[in-house]
């Protein structure tokens, strides 16, 4: 599949000029005349559509709508909120092909990955639906006779979601579905590089809310750039900010939110490594390494950036790796025969070329050279050759994250040294070890092993399931989204003590008589 009728896809997703804001910038029923945002597909360099940016006045109106909707939504029983999220998931199932196609075309990831991203949305809706009946608190034993203690969880209020271009819809849904069943309302600022997929999602959820007699303010969409993100982060009316993006952006958000004592969830940069031991199944390791490095053209926060390979198998694995790269098909991501699509834009291409130059200047040796691809099929100027460089672990370029398909490969002698190499970067998101030796696997997972939020054995660094809490440590931010008990970040804990006796004993045996 090389060509799509994007107009037909938009129509089936109920995206019309009004909610695309081609002219006046209609967003949640308010209009503005600020400069619009063009969405340019990296697939072919063509304009998909334009959206309007919210003005400060319109932003204030949107947050007011959200705040008003929260008053109704928080009093709606959680299982009923879960039922609405379930219906959203059903609508996503109906629109999976079209929404996945739009994700692929607007962002540039392969069609299979675009469809997989929509499946993640469906999965988190299923998870959140079950969670809506499981927002459990604890009971505690009181030291005072005739008293009962327990804890319960209440919604926070307005949750702000700032999402990145590389997962233009899935990461929003991770936050929104959980936040909704917890009783919160959401204000979403998508990446200005992928605004149209956000409009599609908003059209779907608004339809579900309307069918259930619920206000649109439960799910709000605001479009804009950096200044809008700063406004959202600094807004005292927004109880929680969940931000996904670069470490630089995350630090700015963290300071703004902390200065007003707000709450934040930060999912920032990754610099993920796979350790391949002499006891690895090399066929499994090869597939994990290649997909991790070139999937989404290296534009995942969980993309594999570094391979740390035992010296006994280094030359053999390097040969297999180079051979695998020679078989990669690069081109239109809507053609399912291709493995690798384009980078998001020309700025990303420039960063790719700069990183290659820095690597060479530090002494890196490229065993698969990188280049920008030209000619037929590469008209957008965003297609690049995935490349591999042999490096030393102390190179500075190896310790930075470049959102591009550049893979660094290096040797190690002992597992302890491999773990030190892996951990000796500022980021701490995802990690993996390839080994059939249980002692190596368990050591990697121990407290003296990987320092990342995600540590895998015999699978790669990318492709997290929604059932587990997702997030990392160090400059990755430290927040958690999606599964496990990540829902607690979207609620406030309240401890309750009930005195059902006819006396008033004080804690710690304190006496106070009148």
Residues forming the active site: 267, 301
Burial 221-238 (b: 16+ CB within 10 A, else e): bbbbeeebbebbbbbeeb
Token pair 């005072």 in the structure block, residue: 144
Pair 491, 135: CB distance under 8 Å = yes
The DSSP string of 310-325 is ETTTHHHHHHHHHHHH
Which tokens go with 371? Answer: 């280049």
Pair 28, 221: CB distance under 8 Å = yes
User: 425 in helix, strand or coil?
Assistant: coil
- Percentages helix, strand, coil for the chain, rounded to the nearest 5? 40, 20, 40
- Give CA separation, 73 vs 136, 207, 232, in Å: 19, 16, 21
Which tokens go with 276? Answer: 């391949």
Token pair 């700032």 in the structure block, residue: 162
Pair 242, 159: CB distance under 8 Å = yes
Phi, psi of 63 (to 5 degrees): -65, -35
Q: Which residues contact 276 (CB under 8 A, 6 or more apart)?
A: 282, 285, 289, 307, 308, 309, 310, 313, 317, 433, 434
Pair 393, 440: CB distance under 8 Å = no
- Sign of the torsion formed by the C-alpha atoms of 307, 365, 378 and 51: positive
């Amino acid at each position: 599949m090389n060509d799509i009728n994007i107009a037909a896809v938009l129509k089936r997703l109920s995206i019309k000029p009004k909610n695309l804001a081609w002219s006046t910038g209609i967003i949640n029923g308010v209009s503005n005349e600020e400069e619009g945002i063009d969405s340019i597909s990296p697939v072919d360099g063509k304009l998909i559509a334009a959206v309007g940016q919210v003005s400060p006045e319109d932003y204030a109106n949107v947050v007011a709508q959200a705040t008003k909707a929260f008053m109704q939504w928080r009093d709606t029983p959680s299982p009923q909120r879960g039922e609405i999220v379930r219906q959203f998931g059903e609508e996503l199932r109906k629109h999976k092909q079209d929404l996945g196609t739009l994700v692929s075309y607007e962002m540039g990831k392969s069609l299979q990955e675009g469809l997989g991203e929509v499946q993640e949305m469906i999965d988190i809706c299923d998870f959140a639906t079950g969670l809506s009946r499981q927002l459990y608190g604890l009971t505690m034993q009181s030291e005072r006779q005739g008293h009962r203690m327990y804890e319960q969880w209440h919604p926070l209020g307005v949750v702000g979601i700032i999402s990145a271009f590389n997962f233009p819809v899935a990461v929003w849904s991770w936050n929104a579905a959980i936040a909704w069943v917890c009783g919160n309302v959401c204000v979403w600022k998508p990446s200005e590089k992928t605004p149209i997929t956000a409009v599609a999602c908003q059209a779907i959820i608004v339809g579900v809310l309307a069918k259930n007699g619920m206000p649109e303010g439960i799910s709000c969409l605001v479009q804009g750039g950096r200044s809008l993100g700063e406004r959202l982060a600094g807004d005292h009316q927004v109880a929680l900010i969940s931000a996904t993006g670069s470490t630089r952006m995350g630090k700015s958000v963290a300071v703004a939110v902390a200065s007003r004592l707000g709450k934040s969830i930060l999912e920032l940069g990754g610099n993920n490594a796979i350790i391949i031991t002499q006891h690895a199944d090399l066929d499994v390791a090869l597939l994990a390494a290649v997909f991790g490095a070139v999937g989404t053209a290296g534009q995942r926060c969980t993309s594999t950036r570094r391979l740390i390979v035992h010296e006994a198998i280094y030359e053999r694995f390097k040969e297999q790796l180079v051979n695998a790269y020679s078989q990669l098909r690069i081109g239109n991501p809507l053609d399912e025969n291709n493995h690798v699509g384009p980078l998001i834009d020309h700025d990303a291409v420039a960063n790719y070329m700069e990183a290659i130059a820095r690597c060479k200047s530090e002494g890196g040796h490229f065993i698969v050279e990188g280049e920008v691809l030209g000619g037929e099929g590469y008209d957008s100027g965003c297609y690049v050759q995935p490349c591999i460089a042999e490096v030393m672990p102390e190179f500075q370029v190896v310790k930075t994250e470049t959102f591009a398909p550049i893979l660094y490969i290096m040797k190690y002698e002992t597992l302890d040294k491999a773990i030190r190499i892996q951990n000796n970067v500022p980021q701490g998101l995802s990690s993996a070890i390839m080994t059939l030796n249980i002692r190596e696997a368990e050591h990697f997972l121990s407290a003296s092993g990987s320092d990342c939020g995600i540590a895998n054995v015999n699978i790669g660094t990318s492709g997290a399931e929604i059932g587990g809490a997702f997030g990392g440590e160090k400059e990755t931010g430290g927040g958690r989204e999606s599964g496990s008990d990540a829902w607690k970040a979207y609620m406030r804990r309240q401890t309750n003590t009930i005195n059902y006796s006819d006396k008033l004993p004080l804690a710690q045996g304190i006496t106070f008589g009148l």
